Amino acid sequence: MTFDWNSFWVNIISDAVFFLVTIPIVIKYLPDIAIGLIKKRNRKNLTVKFSSTLIELCEFITDSQYRDNELNKEHIAITTIKSERNFKFVSLCNINVFNEIVYPKVFLVINDYHSSLTIEESYKLLTEEFNRLKTFRIDIERILSAHSLLVDEEVILEISKLCFDIRQIEIKFKTNVMWDDLLKSTNSARTGFFGLNELPTIYESTLHLIRDIVSMDYFEYEIQEGKN
């Protein structure tokens, strides 16, 4: 019996070609497959982490003093997937983030609200709002730092950007404190302040973030008639 060298080399070459062809495919798709398996295995943990974030986001929006019949016409009740064993209620947001009209409307509501006040009243209200924003940012950053390894990269970036934007406005708002000292020393009346124009953008980003998280397959929502 003679050894079939032709078949041997044909098998070696075909296996080598197959190996070289599969390398780029494995490199391209293996990370996605691995991440998908990790997410599937950690689905319960991910649901908890996203739920914690949603609670903070929705609480900030729901506790806001900026309200309007049209802006708050509908709200959404958020739950985890009802078909899963760990089904539970997550949070309530008093703005329907899936209604596109609420995004320009929130700008109008905030500006109109402050336009109806005196400068001192408006500044006092904005100061209260910025104290709320600071607490909100700290709570979100705490959740992000504790659970970032289990959260999607896109969501991490979106949450981080929101925190960064809030921090930038906090720094800008501190300019008002210097003006307070100057006004007091010169016995002058306040003619304006910093921070109001940036506030609606924070609300818009928060609403977008709520919508993006609720749209993930960890949650279900129900649109209900709102109560102002």
Least-confidence region, from 69-73, 181-185, 197-201, 202-206: 181-185
The answer to pTM > 0.85 is: no
Per DSSP, 88 falls in state: -
Per DSSP, 219 falls in state: E
Among 194, 148, 159, 192, residue whose Cα is nearest residue 173: 194
Beta bridge mates, 89 = 79
In whole angstroms, give the CA distance from residue 72 to residue 227.
Answer: 7
Q: Is 117 helix (H, G, I), strand (E, B) or coil?
A: coil
Residue 62 has pLDDT above 60, yes or no: yes
How many of the other CB atoms lie within 10 Å of CB of 65?
A: 10
How many of the other CB atoms lie within 10 Å of CB of 47?
A: 20
Helix (H) / strand (E) containing 177: helix 175-186
Task: Estimate to the nearest angstrom the gap between the alpha carbon of 45 and the chain centroid.
Answer: 18
Who wins on pLDDT, 134 or 15? Answer: 134
Percentage of the chain beyond pLDDT 90 is 38
Any idea what the Cα angle at residue 96 is, between residues 90 and 102, rounded to 5°? 145
pLDDT of residue 99: 94
Q: What is the mean pLDDT of residues 173-190?
A: 71
pLDDT of residue 82: 79
Beta bridge mates, 92 = 77
DSSP H helical segments within 42-152, as ranges? Answer: 43-62, 102-115, 119-147
In whole angstroms, give the CA distance from residue 214 to residue 95.
Answer: 13
Enumerate the domain spans of the chain. 42-225
